[in-house]
């Protein structure tokens, strides 16, 4: 049987398995297998060259039984309706596991912000908020940053929502700059949580953090802070990657040097000549592997080539269900 790489259907499988084990009937699965609301929007933008380009955006709201839905907005060329549905379901599960009064949501726009000017990204951010404005708000659905979005984009979105609402609405969005009511420590929070998991797993395996060889796939918000935390703890970060490739040094990379030179999209490998592929990075001989990029990176095809003693997931669904087995 071919491996299922569709994150949406594999997420449905995970939910069905869990509900069966917990003794719920088919009705509960019917309720949770799809988002309550799925919005597709069209966003016309006047580009810098004067031409109008129309972008497609999505917002999935999976379940609001315990409170407003909550979830990131990603700007990426591979955003799809199925991906948004799946990620909104993961958000419901994550909030539920730690008992937060939120349901799951996810949004995205099919675009490549790396090929766009700041002016075009601002117009797109504001256009997206105008398109989804009837469905979002502090008591309905709260967006946040995700892949290729940051606090600046959240600031534009908040400003646009506040202009439409004719009222300052900092509660509409999280991940905004501190000066606009953002939270201290928000940017490093994901990596801080992953660090705790890495340290606990290492203890169980009897691995000393000092000198441990760590590979981190992804150098965005989670990956870059994690690399810094690991490096500060005395571990050797021997590999990191971004969307363009990966860097490897068995003696340990100079993380401060890389952090200093990466751009706002977490890209740094383009500055180097001796890069390796993301696939080669995952298969490096190391103690701890952290996939911190996008979904479906460890598959049935490459799982047996993973040499890490511990895999700690920092991305959403980076390991397929076949690979997990």
Instruction: Supply the residues annotated as catalytic.
Output: 106
Here the tokens at position 312 are 């700690």
CA separation for the pair 315, 262 (Å, rounded): 20
Distances (CA, A) of 92 to 16, 34, 309: 15, 12, 30
Q: Give start and end residues of each alpha helix (H) in the chain.
A: 7-22, 26-32, 81-97, 118-132, 151-165, 186-205, 221-232, 255-261, 278-282, 321-324
CB-based contact 89:62 (threshold 8 Å): yes
Phi first, then psi: give them for residue 308, nearest 5 degrees.
-65, 145
- The whole-angstrom separation of Cα 206 and Cα 229 is 20
Pairwise CA distance, residues 159 & 295, whole Å: 31
Element (H, E) at 207: none
Q: Give the list of residues 6+ apart from residue 194 with CB closer than 8 angstroms, or none.
A: 222, 226, 290, 292, 312, 314
Burial tier of 292 (Cβ tally within 10 Å: 0-12, 13-18, 19+): buried
Contacts of residue 9, Cβ cutoff 8 Å, sequence gap at least 6: 82
- What does each C-alpha distance from 29 to 45, 70, 91, 318 come to in angstroms? 40, 21, 17, 23
Tell me how crowded residue 99 is: count the other CB atoms within 10 A of its CB: 7
């Amino acid at each position: 049987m071919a491996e299922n790489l569709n994150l949406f259907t594999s997420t449905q499988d995970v939910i069905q398995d869990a509900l069966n084990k917990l003794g719920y009937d088919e009705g509960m699965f019917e309720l949770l297998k799809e988002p309550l609301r799925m919005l597709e929007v069209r966003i016309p933008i006047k580009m810098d060259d004067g031409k109008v380009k129309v972008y497609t955006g999505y917002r999935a709201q999976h379940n609001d039984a315990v409170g407003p839905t909550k979830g990131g907005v990603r700007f990426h060329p591979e955003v799809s309706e199925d991906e948004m549905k799946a990620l909104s379901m993961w958000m419901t599960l994550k909030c539920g596991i730690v008992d937060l009064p939120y349901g799951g949501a996810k949004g995205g726009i099919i675009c490549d912000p790396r090929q766009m000017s700041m002016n075009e990204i601002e117009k797109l951010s504001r256009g997206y908020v105008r398109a989804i404005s009837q469905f979002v708000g502090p008591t309905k659905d709260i967006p946040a940053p995700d892949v290729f979005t940051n606090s600046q984009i959240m600031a534009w979105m908040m400003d646009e929502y506040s202009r439409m609402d004719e009222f300052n609405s900092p509660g509409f969005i999280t991940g905004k700059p501190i000066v606009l009511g953002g939270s201290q420590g928000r940017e490093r929070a994901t990596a801080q949580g992953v660090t705790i998991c890495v340290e606990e797993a290492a203890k169980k395996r009897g691995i000393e953090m000092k000198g441990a060889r760590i590979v981190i796939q992804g150098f965005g918000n989670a990956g870059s802070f994690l690399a810094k935390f690991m490096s500060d703890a005395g571990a050797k970060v021997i590999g990191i990657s971004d969307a363009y490739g990966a860097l490897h040094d068995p003696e340990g990379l100079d993380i401060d040097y890389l952090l200093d030179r990466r751009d706002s999209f977490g890209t740094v490998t383009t500055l180097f000549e001796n890069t390796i592929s993301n696939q080669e990075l995952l298969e490096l001989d190391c103690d701890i592997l952290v996939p911190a990029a996008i979904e479906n990176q460890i598959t049935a095809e490459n799982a047996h080539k993973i040499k890490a003693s511990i895999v700690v997931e920092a991305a959403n669904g980076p390991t397929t269900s076949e690979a997990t087995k």
